[in-house]
Amino acid sequence: MLTITHTPEAGTIIEGTSLGDGTAEILKANGWHHPASTTTPLPATQQ
């Protein structure tokens, strides 16, 4: 199960993923990106 939370301090965090589980591809296909400075993808609207 994925959990997406957002706070002003931490930003948007997605928990419940594992390397190679296909989550990255699904998120990217739906407009999320992975900033170089973090480990959590952000929605395209926050680029």
In one-letter notation, the amino acid at residue 44 is A
Supply the pLDDT for residue 46: 52
Supply the pLDDT for residue 47: 47
Torsion of CA 42, 32, 18, 39, to 10 degrees: -30
Instruction: Give the H/E segment covering residue 28.
Output: helix 23-29
Q: What is the pLDDT of residues 1-47, one digit of tens each?
A: 889 899 888 888 888 888 889 988 898 898 887 665 555 555 655 54
**What 3-state class would DSSP assign to 3?**
strand
Against a cut of 0.85, is the pTM above it? no
